[in-house]
Amino acid sequence: MNNLYFILPELFISLSVMFLLVFGVFKSNSSKIIFFLSCLIVLISLAINLNININEKIFLFNNSYVVDDLSLFIKSIILISAFFVMFSSYNYVKINNILKIEYPILILCSLLGMLVMISSNDLIVFYIGLELQSLALYVLASFNRDNLLSSESGLKYFVLSALSSGLLLYGCSLIYGFSNSTNFEEISQNFNFEYGVIFGMVFVIVGLAFKISAVPFHMWAPDVYQGSPTSVTLLFAILPKIAALTVFIKFLYGPFLNLFDDWQFIIIFMSVASMILGAVAAIGQKNLKRLIAYSSISHMGYALAGLTTGTNQGVQSSIIYLIIYLIMNLAFFSCLFMLKRNDKFFENIEDLSGLSKKHPILALSFLIILFSLAGIPPLAGFFAKFYVFMSVIEKEMYFLAIVGLLATVIAAFYYLRIIKIIYFDPEQEKFDTSINIGLKFTLIFSTSVILMYFLNPNFINKYVVNILVFQ
Amino acid sequence: MFPILSSLIILPFIGALFLVFIKSTERNTGIKYVSLFITFANFFLSLYLWKIFDPSISAFQFVENRIWIEGFINYKVGIDGISILFIILTTFVTPLCIISVNSTTTYRLKEFLIAILIMETLMIGVFCSLDLVIFYLFFEGGLIPMFLIIGIWGGNRRVYSAFKFFLFTLVGSVLMLVAIITIYWISGTTDVEKLYELGIQENYQKLLWLAFFSSFAVKTPMWPVHTWLPDAHVEAPTAGSVLLAAVLLKMAGYGFIRFSVGLFPIASIYFVPLVYTLSLIAIIYTSLVALMQEDMKKLIAYSSVAHMGFVTLGIFTFTQQGIEGSIFQMISHGLISAALFLSVGVIYDRLKTRQIKDFSGLVNVMPKYAIMLMIFTLGALGLPGTSGFIGEFLVLMGTFKKSIITATIASVGVILGAAYMLWLYKRVMFGNLLKTIDVKKMVDLNKNETLILSSLATLVIFFGFYPEPLIKTYAVSIDNFINIFNLSVDLNLADNIK
């Protein structure tokens, strides 16, 4: 019974999913109610999660499940962002005729998978969580059945993701074979044959890199981002990345900690490659969603850079980076949800031309968000990079820091290009301004966080400093 | 104690916020008066600051120190004799810009004024900050409003120029960021005052110096990374050019004194030949380029590069005269280049062209304008009796002490300066009035323009004859600065001999 107390959020979500399924089947036209009920469920599980207090790491179910500062904090972050993702996309979902009862339920399922994944302390539990979230996401990607691109992206995501899961599973079996255990704590203690475990580790890292779309395993991202409905793209851009990066932290600083010298180089390579490719490849894009896909690839590069340091500060800087990244993405996509004329949403960069004249406030938020994504001070995006490079330079990895910062200059170019189109180009027809309250709230909230972050940077930092991978 | 520096920094920003909530009307009177009021209030506040500033103390005054990021970085501002003059220059030039904008711009006036006010906040912040990270924030933050000013209100090739300006500056600055973080890890602090005391280990100095140099050289701008400046100047609206020339370029000069020389004395001495070479190329080569320009703004832009060449030359002599001359030159160039750009703006507003060949014999129709432009032309070429002379003279004096050849070559630059400025004046002002010019349009200066230009002209002449108020303000600070510099160099020499 004691064990169950610590997994109350997960329990609550899984019970709610079952309830909603039954409810949706028996009550007709209930999709709207279910959508808002799911928002509420996410909020309640957030409240439950915030209510769990722990003084030390708590192991549950035969050490296969762990609740610590890291997992509790990331769970809260995921639940908050899931709430905003759903809350802000209601209008989009409704207008595009994808407001079916399955939509919010699938989101809840993938959420459940992420929570399990984050708390896992065992390869098998981890894999179950990972697959639960992925399966739900495959369906979500192709949710707009009538749209060719959406079906294509769902299939593409499914095939590539299944491949990566296969690699991951193979890696897990290698690790089990050479260390006689699936438990994270035990893996790190008994290596029978180090090279075998290294092989397994490489496969696991590859599998996880797929999930966060780090170069060279990023190919699926632009197509899937473009094809999926924008509300799902927002989900892709935020939730799985946070979850997968947290698992990265758990793996690298848990079972693989003794192999630090071996994985450090792999992560540095992925980080540098992601930064550069994300920056260069985005320059030619015409579709905003494709562009944000490349942009998120390069952002993942920066988040990975923090992990290469092998220090508490490095891991904390990565987590702060993730939080600011998710706020910026939330803001960016809420802007995208607003760009519609006659019930048609716009995704091409050219459609934004001259936005500033007709919609000065929306254009201003775009401006703030884009400069922040480019990492120009004093906006939040700058501080995200600042913390990461702070920890990278502490370890005297100047090469990584200089390459990373020069990549921000390249990246600045394509963000500036959007600003140019918004502010310098001739104006076009007005967009519809009928926007619902959730969208407005999300946009105002996230933009003001980006803008005001520099006034008091401690308000995020003070939660993160408690997260220690080395006690 | 009343946080006077923070109020100076925050006041224009509050003004900008205020403007956001004022509705733009047909005539925009509310917006115009609010922005004028705010900038004048800030100007008088800075004059008051000058009055209560004690020039006989070399330490930083009015220091405010607040925790900003826990256990990491403090928000620290303070001024000494060097920075206070730049603050006053900023608060003086901004209202002039706003007057000129108010009377000429109608397209999206409100946003323009907001951008200028935010720019003022950031510029004052740069000169006040005593922490490297805070300095970096203000220094880089300036890119955003300037990018928009050039891009929205600029000329035909504004997009190209805005991008060039932004990306050039950003490339230089990210290296500075790496250097700042490195300093944090090797010294444990980014507090400038503490860093002056602690000093920075010698083996790090050269690379760190280069990183800072990459940022300041782009901003100064030094040859060969000066190419963004002519483009930015030509395409920017008049007020944008004025802010760029008068204040933005000075950030780099200030940075050279405060950080490059102040923090890395040994590396600074090591890199003297590099700086001298680049400065001389800037002085001679860009003067020659300026001679051949057909666009007036471009000519003045190239002359700015040449004048900033004198500044860098003076700073890296490490002599009392050299550094004092550089600071004086920066202030005087701030006034004169602002005035020259405003003057070009005057005739551009009338004929919508800046090509030199489109003008001739303007003296016949615009006598007042001719007098004003004469004063500024003479100031720019450094005639005794104008503020331009004192700066260049002191710099050359300082340079003679260190290297006679360098000083001789630099003196040639003064002659070239006279050549291109006088030739420009001759072509535009004298001769017969071109038939193509519509005389009705070429009315003489109006009230606003007379006010702006005559106030600048007065200062140029006043400081030319009586530089005492400026020199008195920074003399003790610079004296102390050079003493510390020599001390740390001597200490290092002694270490090496051991």
Which residues of chain A register pLDDT less than 70? 1, 191-193, 433-435, 471
With beta carbons under 8 A apart, name residues in chain A contacting B159.
420, 424
With beta carbons under 8 A apart, name residues in chain A contacting B171.
406, 409
Q: Which burial class, exposed, middle or buried, applies to B205 when counting CB atoms under 10 A from its CB (0-12, 13-18, 19+)?
A: buried
With beta carbons under 8 A apart, name residues in chain A contacting B182.
393, 398
Q: Is the peptide bond before B467 cis (omega within 30 degrees of 0)?
A: no
Distance from CA of B179 to the nearest CA of A (A): 9
Q: Which residue has the higher pLDDT, A193 or B320?
A: B320
CA distances from A285 to A279, A297, B123, B154, B381 (A): 11, 14, 35, 26, 49
Is the distance from CB of B160 to CB of A420 less than 8 angstroms? no
CA distance B82 to B473: 8
With a cut of 80, say whether residue B272 has pLDDT above it. Answer: yes
Q: A381-404: buried (b, 16+ CB within 10 Å) or exposed (e) per residue? A: bbbbbbbbbbbbbbbebeebbbbb
The continuous run of DSSP H or E covering A3 comes out as: helix A2-6
With beta carbons under 8 A apart, name residues in chain B contacting A458.
69-70
What is the torsional sign of CA B315, B316, B317, B319? positive
Residue range A76-96, pLDDT digits in tens: 999 999 999 988 888 888 888
| pTM for this prediction | 0.91
On whether any CB of chain A is under 8 Å from the CB of B151, the answer is: yes
The answer to whether B167 contacts A413, with C-beta atoms less than 8 Å apart, is yes
Q: What is the pLDDT of residue A273?
A: 93
How confident is the model over B473-498, as a mean pLDDT? 83
CA distance A364 to B264: 41
Distance from CA of B10 to the nearest CA of A (A): 12
Per 3-state DSSP, chain B is made up of helix, strand and coil in percentages (nearest 5) of 80, 5, 20
The answer to whether A405 contacts B140, with C-beta atoms less than 8 Å apart, is no
Tokens coding B88: 């006053």
CA distance A275 to A214: 9
The continuous run of DSSP H or E covering A345 comes out as: strand A344-345
CA distance B164 to B301: 15
CA distance A48 to A279: 40
Q: 10 Å Cβ neighbour count for A433?
A: 10
Tokens coding A248: 């990265």
Residue that has been written with the tokens 């002379």 in this structure? B389
Instruction: Find residue A59's DSSP bridge partners.
Output: A66
Closest CA to A401 of A412, A413, A415, A386: A386
The answer to whether B177 contacts A420, with C-beta atoms less than 8 Å apart, is no
Report the mean per-residue pLDDT for chain B. 87
The answer to whether A423 contacts B166, with C-beta atoms less than 8 Å apart, is no
CA distance A385 to A376: 10
The answer to whether A394 contacts B151, with C-beta atoms less than 8 Å apart, is no
The answer to whether B167 contacts A378, with C-beta atoms less than 8 Å apart, is no
On whether any CB of chain A is under 8 Å from the CB of B166, the answer is: yes
Distance from CA of B420 to the nearest CA of A (A): 35
Q: Coil, helix or strand for A180?
A: coil
Name the residue among B141, B151, B181 with its Cβ closest to that of A423: B151
Q: What is the DSSP-derived secondary structure letter of residue B244?
A: I
The answer to whether B69 contacts A457, with C-beta atoms less than 8 Å apart, is yes
Residue range B281-316, pLDDT digits in tens: 989 999 999 988 888 889 999 998 999 999 999 999
With beta carbons under 8 A apart, name residues in chain A contacting B167.
409, 412-413, 416
Q: What is the pLDDT of residue A348?
A: 85
Q: In sequence order, which residues have a C-beta less than 8 Å from that of residue B222 and are 6 or more positions away?
A: B278, B279, B282, B305, B308, B309, B312
CA distance B220 to B236: 17
Name the residue among B69, B136, B167 with its Cβ closest to that of A409: B167
On whether any CB of chain A is under 8 Å from the CB of B185, the answer is: yes
With beta carbons under 8 A apart, name residues in chain A contacting B162.
420, 424
Q: Is the peptide bond before B469 cis (omega within 30 degrees of 0)?
A: no
Distance from CA of B212 to the nearest CA of A (A): 14
Is the distance from CB of B278 to CB of B406 less than 8 angstroms? no
Closest CA to A391 of B68, B204, B185, B73: B185
Distance from CA of A398 to the nearest CA of B (A): 8
Round to the nearest angstrom and report the end-to-end CA distance of chain B: 47
Q: What is the pLDDT of residue A433?
A: 67
Closest CA to B397 of B476, B471, B463, B314: B314
Residue that has been written with the tokens 């990584």 in this structure? A400
CA distance A381 to A331: 12
Name the residue among B111, B158, B177 with its Cβ closest to that of A424: B158
On whether any CB of chain A is under 8 Å from the CB of B163, the answer is: yes
CA distance A24 to A26: 6
**DSSP code per residue over B354-405:** -BGGG---GGGT-HHHHHHHHHHHHHHHT-TTSHHHHHHHHHHHHHHHH-HH
Distance from CA of A374 to the nearest CA of B (A): 11
Query: How big is the A-B interface in CB pairs under 8 Å?
Result: 78
The answer to whether B159 contacts A424, with C-beta atoms less than 8 Å apart, is yes
Q: What is the pLDDT of residue A434?
A: 61
Q: What is the pLDDT of residue A192?
A: 61
Residue range B165-175, pLDDT digits in tens: 999 999 888 88
**DSSP code per residue over B270-290:** HTHHHHHHHHHHHHHHHHHHH
* Interface ipTM: 0.89
Instruction: Find residue A122's DSSP bridge partners.
Output: A183
CA distance B37 to B268: 43
With beta carbons under 8 A apart, name residues in chain B contacting A398.
178, 182
Percentage above 70 pLDDT, chain B: 100
What is the CA angle A401-A452-A84, rounded to 5?
A: 90
Residue range B141-187, pLDDT digits in tens: 888 999 999 988 888 888 899 999 999 999 888 889 999 999 998 88
With a cut of 60, say whether residue B230 has pLDDT above it. Answer: yes
